[in-house]
Structure 1
Amino acid sequence: MFIFILLFSTSVHAILTAPNGCSLVDKGWYKPNENQWYFTCSAANLTEALEFVSSINKRIDYIIIDACNPVISRLEQLPELDVWNLKITNCGIEEIADDAFVNTSPIGELDLSNNSITKIPKLGFLVDRVQYLNLDHNKISYIPDDAFKKENVTDYMMEYLHLEYNNITELHSSAFEGLSVRSIYLGNNRITHISPNAFEHCKAENLYLHDNKIAELKTGTFSHLKDLRTLDMSNNLLHELPPTIFSSLKKLKSILLLSNNLKKLPSVIFSGLSRLEYISLSENKLTELSDDIFHGLESIEEINLSNNQLKYLSPNIFRNLSVLHYLRMDNNQLKQLSPGIFDDLRKLEVLDLHNNLVKDLPSNIFYNLNELRALDLNNNKLDKVQVDLFPPSFVNLVELHLQGNRLTQLPKRLFSNLRSLWIVDLKGNYLTALPRNCFEGLSMGKTKAELDAEGLRFDFKVFLSGNPLTCDDQMTWLLDWMKIDYVTISPDDGHPEEDTPICVAPPQFAGSSLKSIVLKSLAKIK
């Protein structure tokens, strides 16, 4: 079976016969007077397909060949091709000839993923001619010394090199010699060892080594990568780090060390990284951090310390982190917060402390957090909160989560300064009632127009299920407030029935939902 293609150009008008399973389509309709040719094949003969394209003697933007029939165990020298994007996938390729691409024009993107390639050929001549090289999902176990060594030194920089989901076990000395690339993806391999000189004579801006089996890093491993911006070592087996492992990475902006076995960190581990913006240390086994570990990180915007075993943090640990926006310390074993620990975090927007063991909050603990929008204290051991917990400057808080604590009562006017408050989650505490004026200063009794004029929210939600509510006359104000159309006492239409606040007393209302009780009946209770 053959497919006949009518090919038009300014000087060519010809009928060509494409191999079975292939088609040539112009997708440049959205650009007037500009063609964009796509040649696609499925279950086609690779040799016939590429010879057909070569015979066209015309620039092809995309050649996409998938599931070759028959499979190709060795990719030999290709015919002359003028192509921007060459994709040959699921063809069973095990080996690539060193001269496979010598006849191709400079390729923008070369994708040989999802084959069975076991060895990287010599690609030195190619790395000066390709922007994107994808070798993901193959069976590569080793990177030869001269795989990326260029014949002529140039300033050309590739965009990315993808080697994920292979069988690579080691990165030996000079494995990437001659390579200049923005991003190297080596995740999801079996790497256990990285030579200190693996990245010698290599330039890279982003290095992804996540999901390997790296248990140790030698001093100097990354010292040659002076331009590195991102380093991802997450989901490995690291149990300790050399003190100066990152000291040469002065341009580093993001470092991901989550999901390792780190129990402690040297106090100077991040020293000198003044451009660092993001640190993730979550899902390790950290029990403590030195009080100066983050000092000097003047550009840091997010720190993630969640899912560790931290029991105490020094009051100076976040000193001078004036541009920090997100701080996550959930799922640790913190029993207390040191007074003044957040004093310098004037730009903080999200503070997550859920699933800790905090029993008490020091006075003024949040006083300088004027930009805070979300505070999560769910599932701690708080049995009380101070009336002055939220200062007058606390006007940007949108979400407050206090679920799963041990609160038995709330102070009057506790939320009065929280003018932007939208969600208050009080589920699963021991509250029997809410004081009449605990929300004083917010939206109580005001119309939507009045709220809008004052810059207040008018879509307020309070979650109360799982509390032993006594629905007597002290709760009349709450039922009256529930009649306001911008106030929702959980659940609303999107919440399950089990989230409905249930009264446990007095006897005539025990087991009844808060919403089902008629206001006038409550008013008669004495």
Structure 2
Amino acid sequence: MTYLSIQESGIQTLEVGAFADLHALRTLHLSRNKFTDIPSSLLYDLPELRQLYLYSNVFTSLPDKMFIHSSKIADLHFDFGKLRILQDHVLDGLINLEYVSFFANDITTVQPNAFSGLSNLETLILYSNDINYLPGSVFRGLRGLRNLHIASNEIPFIEENTFKGLRILETLEMYGNEISDLPVDAFRDCQNLEVLRISGNRITSLGNDNANVFTGLFKLKTLWFHMNLITTLPDNIFSGFDQLETLYMYRNRIEALPEKIFDGLLNLKVLQLFDNLLTTLSATVFNGLISLETLYLGGNPLSCDCHMIELRRWLDDNKDRISYTTPFASFTCASPVKHAGRLVMDIPLGELTCESRLQFLHYVQSNLRQVAPPQQ
């Protein structure tokens, strides 16, 4: 026998030696039962086991040395359980483990050596738990890791060396935590990252013009940092990101965008900026986005005066290529009073005027600077 399924049977305990005669077993399903405890020797008679499913049970911890004779297990599933802790060396013996999921448990504590020895692990899922601290060395030695999911926990901060050594990591999901600050070199070893999601945290800063948290992540294709508390962005924060396709920045507190912030994003298709605090945008801020298909700007307190004329012309010129419509936030004006609440795209260009001479002169000077010939 190579496959055995004992699911939804209401079993609460398993006797030692329950699988003594199943030496050829490769797949074992013990999910959707009521196991309150797991014998440490449960798998000792299953040397050929490759896949183990123990999701939807009620045990709160795993016994030490449970896997010391399980070197061939590649897939391990503990989803929808009641686990509260992952103690040091709890997975020792799983030298060929490639995938392990602890999705939707009650884990609060992950000890520093919980994943030691798992050099072949490719996917680690800790999504939707109650983890309130990640030791800086917890992922040390996971040199084969490609996908790391630590989203929807209660992690308040990331230590500087948390992701150190994860050189082939491709996907990092960190959204929905309580993170307020990221070290500027938090991802310095993760230069193969293609997907990074840090949305839904309490992040206030992503660094400055000299160093930012995304420095060196040139292979990124998807970047989410929406629903944070960010107010300003470094001018060069996306420098070198010519593979980036999706960028979510919405529902922050961003007040202004540097004029050249999107320069070089030649493959960007989706840009979401809605629900920030943007009032005025440079006429040329989107000019280099030649692949853009979706641009959401609604929900910002936009000032629809003479400073918007050139941007409106760009929006008009590209309306057949780019979608501006979003169900989340209307693309409307906040000021001046005569335009408040009106859709930006419905206002004739001739009505985008500056009411004071000072505003008009500022607009003229800004446009002169943009068209001025280079100095010799």
**Normalising by structure 1, what TM-score?**
0.61
Q: Aligned partners of 1:229, 1:361: CA distance in 2, in Å? A: 38
TM-align CA RMSD: 2.7
- Which of the pair has more CA radius of gyration? 1
Q: Which runs of 5+ in 1 are unaligned?
A: 1-128, 439-474
- Paired residues, what number? 348
Match of 2:249 in 1: 377
1:149, distance to aligned residue in structure 2 (A): 2.1
The 8 Å contact of residues 353 and 377 in structure 1, kept in 2 or not, is answered as yes
| 1:435 corresponds to 2:304 | no
Match of 1:490 in 2: 325
Match of 1:259 in 2: 128
1:236 corresponds to which letter in structure 2? N
Match of 2:227 in 1: 355
Match of 1:416 among 287, 299, 302: 287
**Could you say if the C-alpha distance between residues 375 and 143 of structure 1 is closer, same or farther in structure 2, counting changes exceeding 3 Å?**
same
| 1:208 corresponds to 2:56 | no
2:276 corresponds to which letter in structure 1? N
1:481, distance to aligned residue in structure 2 (A): 3.9
| 1:333 corresponds to 2:202 | yes
Q: Aligned partners of 2:184, 2:315: CA distance in 1, in Å? A: 43
**Aligned runs of 1:167-206 on 2, under 5 Å?**
167-179=34-46, 180-202=48-70, 203-206=72-75
1:343 corresponds to which letter in structure 2? T
Match of 1:163 among 18, 22, 30: 30
| 1:399 corresponds to 2:270 | yes
1:268, distance to aligned residue in structure 2 (A): 1.2
1:257, distance to aligned residue in structure 2 (A): 1.0
Match of 1:318 in 2: 187
1:302 corresponds to which letter in structure 2? T
Q: Aligned partners of 2:104, 2:296: CA distance in 1, in Å? A: 33
Match of 1:388 in 2: 260
Match of 1:287 among 132, 143, 156: 156
Q: Aligned partners of 1:503, 1:428: CA distance in 2, in Å? A: 9
| 1:303 corresponds to 2:303 | no
**Aligned runs of 1:59-208 on 2, under 5 Å?**
129-130=1-2, 132-150=3-21, 156=24, 158=26, 160-179=27-46, 180-202=48-70, 203-208=72-77
1:370, distance to aligned residue in structure 2 (A): 2.0
1:196 corresponds to which letter in structure 2? D
SS of the equivalent of 1:327 reads strand
1:272, distance to aligned residue in structure 2 (A): 1.1
SS of the equivalent of 1:175 reads coil
1:52-85 CA-partner distances (Å, limit 9, x unpaired): xxxxxxxxxxxxxxxxxxxxxxxxxxxxxxxxxx
Q: Aligned partners of 1:479, 1:261: CA distance in 2, in Å? A: 44
1:370 corresponds to which letter in structure 2? D
The 8 Å contact of residues 342 and 369 in structure 1, kept in 2 or not, is answered as no
The 8 Å contact of residues 490 and 501 in structure 1, kept in 2 or not, is answered as no
1:308-339 CA-partner distances (Å, limit 9, x unpaired): 11111111110031211111101100000123
1:212 corresponds to which letter in structure 2? G
The 8 Å contact of residues 174 and 200 in structure 1, kept in 2 or not, is answered as no
1:197, distance to aligned residue in structure 2 (A): 2.0
Q: Which runs of 5+ in 2 are unaligned?
A: 356-376
1:456-496 CA-partner distances (Å, limit 9, x unpaired): xxxxxxxxxxxxxxxxxxx5x478548x64455436xxx69
1:362-400 CA-partner distances (Å, limit 9, x unpaired): 121111222111111110000111102123x22111111
1:513, distance to aligned residue in structure 2 (A): 5.0
Question: Identity over the aligned pairs, expressed in percent?
Answer: 27
Structure whose residues are more often strand by fraction: 1
**Could you say if the C-alpha distance between residues 479 and 343 of structure 1 is closer, same or farther in structure 2, counting changes exceeding 3 Å?**
closer
**Aligned runs of 1:466-505 on 2, under 5 Å?**
477=313, 481=317, 485-486=320-321, 488-490=323-325, 499=330, 501=332
1:135, distance to aligned residue in structure 2 (A): 2.0
1:176-195 CA-partner distances (Å, limit 9, x unpaired): 12223222111111111311
**Could you say if the C-alpha distance between residues 197 and 381 of structure 1 is closer, same or farther in structure 2, counting changes exceeding 3 Å?**
same
**Aligned runs of 1:48-67 on 2, under 5 Å?**
none
